[in-house]
Each structure stands twice: as C-alpha cells, then as structure tokens.
Amino acid sequence: MVTCSADGKPNTTVISQVYYVDETHAALSFQFFSKTIRNVRENPRAYVCVFDIRGRAHWVLQLEFQLSETEGPIFDAMDMQIEAIASMTGMSGIFKLRAADIYRVLSVERLQY
Amino acid sequence: MDFIACNTMIPGKIVRFLEQYANVAFAGTRDRDLVPHGHNVCGWCVGADQRTMTAFVPEEFTPGLVEALQENGELAVTVEEFPSHETYQFKGRYLCDRAVRYDDVEIVDRIRRRFVRSLRAIFADVPEDVLNAFVSKPSLAVEFEVREIFLQTPGPGAGTRLIPPVES
C-alpha cells in the first residue's frame, strides 16, 4: 500500500488484508501503520496492489479514504480474518485489528505477468 | 523544509538482511498532485558506500515511474523477509535510472530463489514455474540516496525511525 503525506513524502507498507465491502468500496486493516493513518487523513488518496500468485496477475486499486470503523459487521468480519491470517503466518498475538478503514474505489486495474 | 541529513549510512545488520534474507519489496512514488503510485520491486542492491540503494523494477510497473522521480525525487522502498515479516522501509531521493545489466539479473535470480523457497510451505500445490513467475524479470534500475530507514516489522515498534535515530 502506498500513501503520501501532505508535504509530498510517499510511504509504503505491507498490509494483511483488503476486504471487499461492495462494488465501490474496500476496507483495509488498520493494525500498526500509524504513518499510513496520518497520511490518509491529510491526503485521502491511496494505492493498493494485491498479488494473485496463482492467477499470475497483480490487481491495482486507486482508493480514497472515507472513514474508520471500530465496530460493526465489517470490523467483526475483518477481525476474524485477521485472526486466521495471524494463525496461518505465526503472528498470533501480534496482529491485532484496531480499525477497519473504509475507502472508495476510484479504479481497478489488472496487470498480467 | 527538508531537515534530514544527506550522510545516512545503512547499518551492516540491515545490509546483511537485504543481501541474504529479504525476499520481497515494493516501492512508492507520488505525482505532482500528491497522488501515490506503487511499483513492484523484483530486486535490490546496496551501493559500495552503503549510502545508496538500487531497486530493480519489472516492465509492467515502470509507467510513470521515471517521470514522477524526475519531477519530485521522492521514493520509498519497503523490503520484507517472508515469512518472518522482518521489514524495513527506506526513504530517499532519486539519483538516476538505467537499463538493467547482466549482474542485476543475477541478483534478481538469487532473490527469486529465496522467495520461492519461502513460499513452498504455503503454496505446496502450485507449480514451480508459477511461483518463479511472481518475481518478474527486471527492466529498469533506479538508484536512490537513502535518507531515512524505518522499522516496519509487525509489532509495537512498527513505524519507528531507525536512521537517523529519533532524538528522545
């Protein structure tokens, strides 16, 4: 995921989960990345690349931050998935969902390789 | 105001991480409208003086990259070892770009072997050629001066600036 501060510094981070909300919205897991959180509150644009290893493709999403949810059905579903991802990758007790950040999807592009 | 000193040196411990353990990376830039863009990085190397890095970018992630770097010079590269998740982010200023050379391709080949080895446990049923293809051939080499290094390994210290150290 790439964001950019108001003074023009890009920030790149690895995120655990991109959650499908509906045709025009995605939710990203907010766990540790405080710089990302600060950036999207200053400058709401974000770039996410999702890897599809089996499909030999990358999915590129251009997003715009809308709001942060700390409870509700989206948060609960993501929290459960984060637990599963943490368990699979040996990160139980370290991965902890603080919020589900909801973004509007501006564009989606598939890059085949 | 740009207050970061320009004599940042990458510590030996992090150089060893980059050269021997790290196996996946991604770069971020931004355009003149502060819209962020991402660029997959298939390989990297540290300059002899430990003040610069070179990131190798596959063809499909080069559109807009050099234009953004020539316009504002800002580059962030995050490098991770999977599955340990040890991760560092390198922020710096663009110096130059060039076509890849034979020795760059050898570096990417080594990283591809490390990456595929690390994925085997999770993607046991996926053919070797599919895993190999994930680390694309490099097309462009981008050299940049490292000015800041951040710890991004998941945990309470994630986001801490390591270099230059944060004054308490």
| Domain CATH code at residue B116 | 2.30.110.10
Q: Structural domain tally of chain B?
A: 1
The ipTM of this complex is: 0.93
CA distance B61 to B139: 9
User: Any CB–CB contact under 8 A between B34 and chain A?
Assistant: yes
Strand partners, B94: B144
Kindly tell me if the per-residue pLDDT of B6 is higher than 80: no
Give B16 or A91, the one with higher predicted confidence: B16
Q: State the pLDDT at residue A84.
A: 81
- The range of the structural domain enclosing residue B22 comes to 12-153
Q: State the pLDDT at residue B1.
A: 42
User: Per-residue b/e over B119-158, b at no fewer than 16 CB within 10 Å?
Assistant: beeeeeeeeeeebeebbbbbebbbbbbbbbbbbbbbeeeb
CA distance B7 to B149: 13
Interface of A with B in 3-42 (CB under 8 A): 3-4, 6, 8-14, 31-35
Q: State the pLDDT at residue B40.
A: 97
Model confidence over B38-68: pLDDT tens digits?
A: 999 999 999 999 999 999 999 999 999 999 9
Q: State the pLDDT at residue A29.
A: 87
Q: Does any domain span residue B66?
A: yes
Nearest CA in chain B to A54: B130
Length of chain A: 113
Q: What is the mean pLDDT of chain A?
A: 91
Kindly tell me if the per-residue pLDDT of A89 is higher than 90: no
Q: Does any domain span residue B106?
A: yes
Number of Cβ atoms within 10 Å of the Cβ of B12: 9
Residue A8 to residue B122, Cβ atoms within 8 A: no
Lowest-confidence segment of A16-30, A31-45, B69-83 by average pLDDT: A31-45
